[in-house]
Amino acid sequence: MTDAGRDGRRVAVVTGGSGGIGGAVARRLADAGTAVVVHYAGAVDRAAEVVESITAAGGTAYAAPGDVAEPAEMERLFDAAEERFGGVDVVVNTAGIMKLAPVAEMDLDTFDRMHRVNVRGTFVVSRLAARRLRPGGALINFSTSVTRLQQPTYGAYAATKGAVEAMTLILARELGGRDITVNAVAPGPTATPLFLEGKSPELIERIGSAAALGRLGTPEDIAGAVAFLAGPDGRWINGQVLFANGGAA
């Protein structure tokens, strides 16, 4: 693995870093000594809170806005990271949206919006990562355990994540020989505010009990999987989808 930027730290870009899982990933990477660019789309206050929590703990981070599906905006984000820190070593694509409905009832505009963020956005950022990550770097995309669990109402969302898995595994092979790993993390049900919203305690308990470990995942559980893939112990893991779901079936 390489050293990081001008101050010796590795440098990470975390898209969707203002979200529940994205924020946990940013904090976990910062705890390991990584300088973190906390990307956000509209949640500037939440991004600022993530940055503040990192800097209060002695880490290095700053927030940067942008639409993940717009190449020019993501180019500016990578440019800023390189200007501030000297380069980029880790890219984590947590940015995504989830809208649920049976396939027969899914509104196509809603599907197109999910596709734009989840598929095009991941593609735009992955393409930049392929061009700009330094040797020893890691790209970590986000899928979902629903691609295997096949739960009703998740068809459109799972379709976008199936596309993410395909591009991730192929990109790992396209980058062969450059000492850059490309993997995906596929969380199961995770106790983020977005997931918990509108669900009764009884429903939450029932969903959690479906995992072999008998509970919902936490954002920190998922962040641990990301940190493994981004760190020195994950260098021999490449072109894989890591299911982080507590044994959900």
**CA 184/CA 201 separation, integer angstroms:** 30
Write the pLDDT tens digit of every residue in 89-145: 999 999 999 999 999 999 999 999 999 999 999 999 999 999 999 999 999 999 999
Site of tokens 């106790």? 191
Write down the pLDDT at residue 7: 65
For residue 4, pLDDT over 80 is answered with no
The pLDDT-based confidence of 194 (bands split at 50, 70, 90) is confident
In the chain, which ranges are continuous DSSP H helix? 20-31, 44-56, 71-85, 108-114, 122-132, 146-149, 155-174, 193-196, 201-209, 219-230
Q: In whole angstroms, what is the distance from residue 86 CA to residue 89 CA?
A: 10
CA distance 181 to 222: 18
Residue 196 pLDDT: 82
Percentage with pLDDT > 90 across the chain: 85
Are the CB atoms for 66 and 114 separated by under 8 Å? no
Residue-wise pLDDT for 6-37, tens only, equals 567 899 999 999 999 999 999 999 999 999 99
pLDDT of residue 9: 87
Specify burial of residue 238 (Cβ count, 10 A radius: 0-12, 13-18, 19+): middle
Tell me, what DSSP letter sits at residue 105? G
Ranges of each domain in the chain = 11-244
Tell me the β-bridge partners of 11. 35
* pLDDT given for residue 19 in this prediction: 94
pLDDT exceeds 60 at position 1: no
Q: What single-letter DSSP state applies at residue 117?
A: I
DSSP state of 104: G
Half-sphere exposure of 29 (CA within 13 A, CB side): 36
pLDDT above 70 coverage of the chain, percent: 97
Which residue in the list 40, 62, 154, 157 is annotated as catalytic? 157
- In the CATH scheme, what is the homologous superfamily, with its name and number, of domain 11-244? NAD(P)-binding Rossmann-like Domain (3.40.50.720)
Q: Is the pLDDT of residue 242 over 80?
A: yes
Residues 136-177: tens digit of each pLDDT: 999 999 999 999 988 899 999 999 999 999 999 999 999 989
Q: Return mean pLDDT, the chain.
A: 94
**In the prediction, which pLDDT does 6 show?**
58
Span 194-217, average pLDDT: 87
Band of residue 84 on the pLDDT scale cut at 50, 70, 90:
very high
Residue range 193-216: average pLDDT? 86
pLDDT score at 53:
98
Q: Is the pLDDT of residue 210 over 90?
A: no
Q: Residue 3: what pLDDT?
A: 43
Assess whether 62 carries a catalytic annotation: no
pTM of the model: 0.94
User: Strands 138-142 and 181-187: what pairing?
Assistant: parallel
**Which amino acid belongs to residue 76?**
R
Secondary structure (3-state) at 87: coil
